[in-house]
Structure 1
Amino acid sequence: MNRYLEGNYAPLADEVSTVDLPVSGRLPRDLNGLYLRIGPNPRTEVDRELHHWFSGAGMVHGVRLREGRAEWYRSRFVASERGAPNTNVLSHGGRLLTLIEGGKPPVEISPDLAHQAIWDCDGTLSRGFTAHPKIDPATGAMHAMTYNPRFGSVRYVVLDATGRATHTSDIEVPDGPMVHDMALTATRVVLLDLPVTLAAAQRRGAAGLPVATFPFNWDDQHTARLGILPLSGTADQIRWIEAPRSFVFHVLNAFDNPDGSLTMDVIRYDTMFVRDINGPGDATPRLVRWTVNPATGTVNEEPISDHRVEFPRVDPALTGRPHRYGWFAGFSPDGLLITDDVNRDPAAGFGTGPLIKIDTTSGQTVVYDYGPGRVTMEPAFVPRPGAIAEDDGWILSVVHDGTVDRADLVVLDAAALDAGPVATVHLPSRVPFGFHGNWVDDRDIDAARSAV
């Protein structure tokens, strides 16, 4: 059995459209915009033995909120002749972009999800983009570490606030590493060159062992290292530092320190894709802080929390700047990746996947449990207009309810999770466990209306 094709991992066959969604509670009238989420949703039969969770066409899900109403929900397949983005969806430079890594350019979608077209930034992204670009809040520039294993290099790309390419630099790396995320500070970018590689999958195949449709495996021969460059730096400026032997899908945030070092809060795994070649289900995540010192060439690691968390989010206004809080999806046996029985409710027969808020300075945590059978996906933090405090805003996340096999969009007060939902938008169908989503404010929607 391939668990990534079962339960709420299973793909949906049809697109859905509905209007005037029922809401429990009261939606904040300041939440005017579009919540978007995307994940893999294969449209055709797949090899059940070799299918990898990261493979398959993407399906984007959208919920339109305006003036206290949930106007509509729509789900649409995203596909083009040059790929099917399935990993992230965000707004930049007046465009709504669906993203994937490993060699495929973004596909732009219209705000009503009705139209789509490839966008390769006049050829700059023709050899691929990334799932996790970082936007500098001071300049609006988007920084990205893009990779295509065929080229034997990672391309550092900078797009300005309008989406115009202003910088590219190719950085040679051996073995074709998987580079899912990166780190950005106010002055530097960090390339994560870690031991999950295409070369390891190729060696596995040459040995006659099965290789999944997403061809990356743990690489015992590849050194874990971080490459540090100045903003808009070039390959000859990179400073390589050996990192703790591990794999990182996601960086919560990073920032510069007065002594010239930098801090990275990351979700680390001791290994990845060793036994479970179809997904990340055989590894345990830990939130740790890496203090990277280019002067000494060292990385010091300290644990932040014992909670098993993933899909980290921070206030986007603090990207690359010192932060205190992070919001995370907590792992559950029936939801996100973990396969043991922790958090299982024997009465309901389902697991619970809570939202977890962590104070990274003290390690203090607040856990909000959505209830038996309910599993949150990645949270998104939306600041309240005029907010001053770092956690003055809302958390939006899609929550799967295994008791009825359906999803809700749940709104919580980011500073008072214990108070329970501010509002719950009841969606007409389930939303498969996927990857990433973001809030797009009305101002960005207006900018994107004529883009596609």
Structure 2
Amino acid sequence: MTTAIGNPYLEGNFAPVSDEVSVNDLPVTGTLPPELNGRYLRIGPSPKGSGETGMSHHWFVGQGMVHGVRLRDGHAEWYRNRFVRGDVPEDSPNTNILAHGGRLLALVEGGGAPVSITPDLNRMSTWDADGALRAGFTAHPKTDPATGEMHSLSYLIRPGTEELRYVVMDATGKATHAAELPVSGVPMVHDMAMTATRVVVLDLPVTLSMDAMGRLAAGAPESGDALPMRWNEEHPSRVGVLPRGGTADQIRWFDAPRCYVFHVLNAYDTPDGSIIMDVVRYDTVFRDVFRGPADGPPALARWTIAPDRGTVSEQIMSDYSVEWPRINQAWAGRSHRYGWFGGTGPDSLRLSDDVSRDRGGSFEPGPLVKFDTATGEASAHHFGTGRVTQEPTFVARPGAEAEDDGWILSVVYDGTADRSELVVLDAADLKAAPLARVHLPRRVPFGFHGNWIADNEIGA
């Protein structure tokens, strides 16, 4: 295993893997639901070379690598991992992979272009939606489950950029709307929110650092400078609300809690015109620790945006430290009850425990957590000694009506064996024993996001 003493994001299961493999007929413990016909795909950075693996390395930077597991008729047919390669070397997104318009798309923010990948993971090409994404895309577009319409907000990590780009694409991947939204200071906009009628822009106090950019240009980078974004005490914390398909003259800005948000669980409209928005928030990021989001533990919070009063109020919803929020996507933009998360910190200790605040400079995965927004109840699935997970993916059972009737899929890393598994849980009964464990031929490094892609989403 590759190690780099002093940079925790290049050690243990953060360390990259350097080769591509294909293995068929994977062993399975338990019984895979036969309805799971498709691919579980996950992506993350797998940096290589001294330029990507020095002390300046940041967890968010590095060539993308996609990991895939093909399930069909109760069998795990193959595992494959491939470096993401677009038409030019810099086209190698590393943050999310999803299906839209019949395409598999690997995504990244900050100016990187999407890369289209064939279902067998063996052929790739840069995709810019006929020029609509020429300035790059985002890691977290939002798709309306009823119409298939996709909404996105993108930004450029480039000095002097004073705008975000809002793009809407129809279910086929054709751009139907684009608007420039003025901002200042090049804020890092990792995610956004979408309701049935509106979108919400996050303009929070992490911005492009000219000091870090200068060190990079001079060839003398310091810790974490590979991603030159830093906490900015001078930058406001605000959210912008505009109609879906809206333009800059329609946006309304409201002061928001002083924090940073990487990920939104979901958002929806209320009868009184407010927006309920569940987010994972950090007091600060990239202020004290620069190589990853390890200033302090994240927390699940509910923001209520009340345009008639011009306010954004906050309620901390759980005392568990969680990240990588996911819902049943049929509830996207609509009132939801459940969320599934990866717990963070040692065994996902509660935020009241001081030990969960001491991360040792890295961001530590933990168990899988389900949260009920109606009752406030949180339940966790602990996978065993030395075994941790990150982002869950919800897959609805065919014909299901209940919001949590389905399965949770996630990759679990076993530190005692230095291997990984794809684990399937009952989404309604998270504490029950796994339904199935697909034993993968190698470890899957801690990365970022992934999705279940059913065969009918990509015609294969």
TM-score normalised by the shorter chain: which range applies? over 0.9
2-structure distance, mates of 1:423, 1:47: 36
Distance in 2, Cα, partners of 1:153 & 1:115:
34
Matches within 5 A, 1:17-416: 17-45=22-50, 46-80=52-86, 81=88, 82-150=90-158, 151-199=161-209, 202=212, 210=222, 212-333=225-346, 342=356, 353-416=366-429
Q: How has the CA–CA distance of structure 1 residues 73 and 298 changed in structure 2, closer, same or farther, with 3 Å as cutoff?
A: same
CA distance in 2, matches of 1:170, 1:43: 35
Q: How many residues align?
A: 440
The Cα of 1:419 is off from its aligned counterpart by 1.5
Structure 2: which 5+ residue stretches go unaligned? 1-5, 359-363
Q: Residue 90 of structure 1: SS of its match in structure 2? A: strand
What SS does the corresponding residue of 2:17 show, helix, strand or coil? Answer: coil
Shift of 1:212: 1.0
Q: Scaled by the length of structure 1, what TM-score is found?
A: 0.94
For each residue in 1:105-147, what CA deviation from the matched residue of structure 2 results, as whole angstroms up to 9, or x when unmatched? Answer: 1000000000000000011101010000000112110000011
Distance in 2, Cα, partners of 1:266 & 1:361? 16
- Quick one: which amino acid aligns to residue 6 of structure 1? E
Aligned-partner Cα distance in 1 for 2:292–2:92: 19
CA contact (8 A) 1:88 1:437 kept: yes
Q: CA deviation at 1:352?
A: 7.6
Cα distance in 1 for partners of 2:170, 2:440 equals 36
The offset of 1:340, in angstroms, is: 7.9
Give the Cα separation in 2 of the matches to 1:162 and 1:372: 45
Q: TM-score normalised to the size of structure 2?
A: 0.92
CA contact (8 A) 1:352 1:373 kept: no
Q: Secondary structure at the match of 1:84?
A: coil
Q: Which moved more, 1:276-285 or 1:241-250?
A: 276-285
What displacement does 1:313 show? Answer: 0.2
2:278/2:300 contact within 8 Å kept:
yes
Per-residue displacement from partner, 1:238-297 (whole Å, max 9, x unpaired)?
000110110000000000010001000000001110121111112210100000011111
Q: Secondary structure at the match of 1:178?
A: coil
Q: Provide closer, same or farther for how the CA distance between residues 59 and 192 of structure 1 changes in structure 2, counting only shifts above 3 A.
A: same
The one-letter amino acid paired with 1:159 is: M
* Cα pair 1:368 1:417 within 8 Å, conserved: yes
| Shift of residue 83, structure 1, vs aligned partner | 2.3
Q: Whole-Å Cα distance in 2 between the matches of residues 145 and 110 of structure 1?
A: 25
Q: Contact 1:156–1:170 (CA<8 Å) still a contact in 2?
A: yes
Is the Cα contact below 8 Å between 1:88 and 1:99 reproduced in 2?
A: yes
Q: CA deviation at 1:362?
A: 1.7
CA distance change for structure 1 residues 203 and 33 in 2, over 3 Å: closer, same or farther? closer
Question: d(CA) in 1 for partners of 2:211 and 2:8?
Answer: 21
CA contact (8 A) 1:33 1:445 kept: no
Offset at residue 418 of structure 1 (A): 1.8
Residue 347 (structure 1) aligns with: none
Is contact 2:390–2:410 with CA below 8 Å preserved after alignment?
yes
For the aligned residue pairs, the C-alpha RMSD in angstroms reads 2.2
Name the amino acid aligned to 1:149.
I
Identity rate, percent: 59
Deviation at 1:334, TM superposition (A): 9.0
- What CA distance in whole angstroms lies between the structure 2 residues aligned with 1:309 and 1:340? 16
* Residue 16 of structure 1: how far off its partner (Å): 1.2
Q: What is the CA-CA distance between 1:342 and the residue it aligns to?
A: 4.8
Q: Secondary structure at the match of 1:305?
A: coil
Q: Deviations over 1:40-61 (max 9, x none)?
A: 1012223521100000001000
Gaps of 5+ in 1: 345-350
Residues 401 and 157 of structure 1: CA distance in aligned 2, closer, same or farther (over 3 Å): same
Q: Distance in 2 between matches of 1:129 and 1:75?
A: 23
Residues 270/204 of structure 1: CA separation in 2 closer, same or farther (3 Å cut): farther
For 1:423, which of 433, 436, 439 is the aligned residue?
436
